[in-house]
Structure 1
C-alpha cells in the first residue's frame, strides 16, 4: 500500500468534512434542521450532494459534526477538557479567577454553538437529534463536574453545597438555552451575559456576597 497516497486521501477526506460542516453550521443556525436540505449544504460547501452523503451518511451526522466543530472552534480532534481555555481556567490561582475564566471560555463557545444547539433541540422529534441533544447535555455536564470538583478541591464551594449540586447549577447557568434567551430573544450582549453569569456563579456556587 502507498502510505503517502493513503495519508493524502485521509487528509482530503478530513478537509472535505470540515468544509461541509462549516458551511452547514450557518444554514442550520439560520434556518433550523428541517428547513436545511443536504443539497443546500452541498451547494454552500461547493461539493456534490453525493459527496456529503458519502462523508456523513445522514443529515443528522452533518449537524453533529457542525456542533463538534463549533464547540471546539476548529476541526481538530481535541476533547473540550484538553482545550487551552479549560486548562487555563483549571490552573487559575484562585476560585474567583477560575470562575471568571470558566464563564469567559464558555461564553466564547456559546457564541459559536448556541444557534446550532437550538437547531438540535428544535428538531428533537427526530430520534437522531434527540440522541444528539442528550449526548450534548451529558458532555456539558461532565465538563461542569470537572470544574465543580476543582472548586471543591480548593475548598471554595458555598457552605453545604456538594460538588454534584455545583456541577448541575453551572450546567443550568451556563446553558445554551439561557445564553440564547438573553443574547437573542432579549437582545442582551454577550458581554452582559458573561458579567451577569459570572456574578450568578459566584453567588450560587461560591456563596460569594456581591
Structure 2
C-alpha cells in the first residue's frame, strides 16, 4: 500500500511543479510580448534564455510524470491483485472485506482516500485525518480478523419471519448469529 501512496504523493508534487513552471512560462511570454509591443522595442535575449529554461523544465516535469504514471500503473496492478486476494480470503472466512481490486481504478481520487473511506464504514475514523501506513495496516487487520467492532455481519433468519407471517400471529423474532459470519469463532476451529 505504502509504495502506491508514496508515488501518488510524488505525482501530486510533480503536478504542482509543472503548474508552477507553466505559469512562469506564460508570464515570460507576456513580458516578451509587452516589451516587443512597446514604443521602443528592447532587447529580449535574457527573456529568451528564461523562456528556454522554463520550457526545458516543463519537458523534464512531463517526463517525470510519465515515468511516475508507468510506475503507478504497475504498482496499481500489484495492489489490485493483493486486494482481490484479501477479498477472496476474507470472503472464504465469512467476513467479506468491501475492498477489492476495483478500488484502485475508476476514480479521480487517490487510492489512499478511497481506502480510508471504505475503512470508515467499519471503524469510525475521521476522513480528514492523515493516517499512516501502520494505521491502515491496523484497520485492515482488525476488519480481516473480525474485531472491527461493528455488527454488520449479524443477520436474521428469514425462515422464522416467513413462519410468523404464515401463522398470522405477531411474534417477536430472534436474531440468529452465525458464528462464522459474525467473527465470534475463528474459521480454523471448523476446519
TM-score, with length taken from structure 1: 0.28
Q: Over alpha carbons, which structure has the higher Rg?
A: 2
TM-score, with length taken from structure 2: 0.30
More helix per residue = 1
